Amino acid sequence: MKSEIRKKMTVKRRYLGEIVRLEADRAMLETFEAAFSCYNSFLVYSSFSTEARTDLLIERLLSEGKRVYLPRVEGERLAPVLYGELKKGAFGINEPVGEEYKGEIDVTVVPLLAVNERGYRIGYGKGYYDRFLKGRKTLKVGYGYDFQIEDFTEDEWDEPLDLYLSERGIYTFGK
């Protein structure tokens, strides 16, 4: 089930039109800024391929003087590192080279292939964010397009998001 949705969403996202994508990424940037400018520290995934773009978001947050961390893959885990010099990491994704930050982070921007109506997500199938988010005190914000909302049954190890931000606005999940 999850693997079928992974395939379907990968294809759907790949064939999203260029203009639609540009508009959606821009709308999401504005929504994000309006909703979260009261927070000070952010962990933001470094987008690659057809994922919702975060480079402009990172730039915007930095220009507002926010503390921005990027995740770095270290074996089975994600280590937050303050934005700085970047280097291509494990999956060809840009990762920061500095030391791991061990403190709290206000908002975590989470990538996904699909999200369900209870706020559970499907990622690439390695469980990195399930492990990272487990027990962590941070606002968990999924970041993606509206068509990525999909019905599926989550697994017991899946960690739910607090919010989902798409080009249509912000969805909240009741707890």
Binding region for ligand ADP (CB under 6 A): 2, 122-127, 130-131, 134, 155, 157-158
- The strand pairing partners of 141, in sequence order, are 109, 163
Query: Which entry of Mg ion, ligand ADP, none binds 91, CB below 5 to 8 A by partner kind?
Result: none
The label of the residue with tokens 């997500």 reads: 121
Q: What is the largest CA-CA distance in the chain?
A: 42
Tokens representing residue 12 in the block: 């759907």
Tell me the Cα Rg of the chain.
15
- For the bound state, the minimum distance from the C-beta of residue 149 to Mg ion, rounded and expressed in Å, comes to 16
Query: Which entry of Mg ion, ligand ADP, none binds 57, CB below 5 to 8 A by partner kind?
Result: none
Which residues, numbered 127-146, are part of the site for Mg ion (CB under 5 A)?
A: 130
Query: Which entry of ligand ADP, Mg ion, none binds 30, CB below 5 to 8 A by partner kind?
Result: none
- For the bound state, the minimum distance from the C-beta of residue 28 to Mg ion, rounded and expressed in Å, comes to 22
- For the bound state, the minimum distance from the C-beta of residue 157 to ligand ADP, rounded and expressed in Å, comes to 4
Q: For the chain, give the number of residues.
A: 175
- For the bound state, the minimum distance from the C-beta of residue 6 to ligand ADP, rounded and expressed in Å, comes to 7
Q: Are 113 and 122 in contact (CB under 8 A)?
A: yes
Cβ neighbour number for residue 110 with a 10 Å cutoff: 27
